[in-house]
Amino acid sequence: MKNFEHITLGQRVLFGSGKSAEHLSAEVSRVGASRTMVIASEFERSMAETATAGISPALWWDEVVMHVPVEVAERARAAAVEHDIDLLVCVGGGSTTGLAKAVALATGIPIVAVPTTYAGSEATNVWGMTEERTKTTGVDDKVLPVTVIYDAEFTRSLPVELSVSSGLNALAHCIDSLWAPKADPINQALALEGSRALAAGLAGVAADPNDIDAREETLHGAYLAAVAFASAGSGLHHKICHVLGGTFNLPHAQTHATVLPYVLAFNAPAVPDLAHRLAAALGRPAAGNQDAAQAAVEALNTLRRTLGAPSALIDYGFTADGIPEAVERVLRAVPASNPVTPTEENITGLLTAALHGVTPTAALAAPVEAR
């Protein structure tokens, strides 16, 4: 029997390749904004200029830093107040959207988000900031962008390597949503369809980086992933990556892309039905009497090999010396809903495997200690 409460966040979504300037101009008029602050890093500036061609921003802000350090957020907030800003327009990836959210959290100024990656932050009411090597996250409807403008043309700026990392970050939203604290049949359905779209789209992008149809399919999947994640909440995967990013300053997308298969291998044996459905969504359903968990892990491993995905945390500066502190922090944050009981031993094993890029198998957490 089904028994759950599901919340769908209210948000306007405009999707159309090459239509960002048209859509943004219409949204600025619709919300009645007169003093717009555009948040975009130096790298994102040309895309932001394209998107804002039909409006006259009152302020440009380009100090964007990964993991949103509190001091950076405070400077951006002060500038928004000083210039009497009434609308935030963020054009960029997750760090750019995250900074806009930090400003909105303190000021209540609405956001229109124009994503240029597959990060998905634009579709959630989750914020995150880092202070003293600790990343803190929270949920507040003030940070949910009122409108998201998707223009797949902007994702062409992502090289294949970054497209893969960003897309697998989105896939992590899907997979974590299968067993996160507020997982339910609705967000699981969104997550599985998001997984299908991301797997198909990313394979197309890897084969031809200029394939706009593949870019659109990937962006569509990233949105579904974010909607599922916004409803289901943060699971074990995100708790691990927040520790690795906030405490050890590892790069966001690459860290998510690297850790994802190890968390799937850790949890999948305890949720065979979900594992079976995920394997099918990823395009490699369990064959015959194949174990469902192993099928899901192999499906993800195959996709990652096709994409040339990141495979080892050691490549991004993490070392074995950091594992004890990371394990301690993860165990304090892991949600009670996780399908497998986390322990010092098995989380150490997970991080050690991810550190060295050991090929994940569904026996990673064996013996399974299901809740």
Core vs surface per residue 209-226: b (16+ CB within 10 A) or e:
eebbebbbbbbbbbbbbb
**3-state secondary structure at position 62:** coil
Tokens encoding 65: 């830093």
pLDDT of residue 1: 64
**Contact at 8 Å (CB) between 95 and 199?**
no
For the chain, the domains span 12-156, 162-356
Packing angle between helix 252-267 and helix 160-177, nearest 10 degrees? 40
**What is the distance between the alpha carbons of residues 226 and 2, in angstroms, rounded to a whole number?**
23
Comparing C-alpha atoms, which of 348, 349, 362, 359 is closest to residue 269? 362
Q: How many helices (H) and strands (E) does the chain have?
A: 13, 8
pTM (2 d.p.) = 0.92
Q: Which amino acid is at 266?
A: F
In CATH, which of 3.40.50.1970, 3.40.50.970, 3.60.40.10, 3.40.50.10440 is domain 12-156?
3.40.50.1970
pLDDT of residue 371: 40
Query: What length does the chain have?
Result: 371
CA atoms within 13 A on the CB side of 262: 28
Q: How many CB atoms lie within 10 A of CB 370?
A: 13
**What is the distance between the alpha carbons of residues 257 and 351, in angstroms, rounded to a whole number?**
14
321 phi, psi to nearest 5 deg: -60, -25
**3-state secondary structure at position 127:** strand
Packing angle between helix 94-107 and helix 70-82, nearest 10 degrees? 60
pLDDT of residue 2: 82
β-pairing verdict for 87-92 and 126-131: unpaired
**Contact at 8 Å (CB) between 151 and 16?**
yes
In CATH, which of 1.10.645.10, 1.20.1090.10, 3.40.1410.10, 3.30.365.10 is domain 162-356?
1.20.1090.10
Q: What is the pLDDT along the chain (371 residues), one digit of tens a residue?
A: 688 999 889 999 999 999 999 999 999 999 999 999 999 999 999 999 999 999 999 999 999 999 999 999 999 999 999 999 999 999 999 999 999 999 999 999 999 999 999 999 999 999 999 999 898 999 999 999 999 999 999 999 899 999 999 999 999 999 999 999 999 999 999 999 999 999 999 999 999 999 999 999 999 999 999 999 999 999 999 999 999 999 999 999 999 999 999 999 999 999 999 999 999 999 999 998 899 999 999 999 999 999 999 999 999 999 999 999 999 999 999 999 899 999 999 999 999 999 999 999 986 654 444 44
CA atoms within 13 A on the CB side of 278: 33
For 66-87, the three-class secondary structure string (H helix, E strand, C coil) is: CCCEHHHHHHHHHHHHHCCCCE
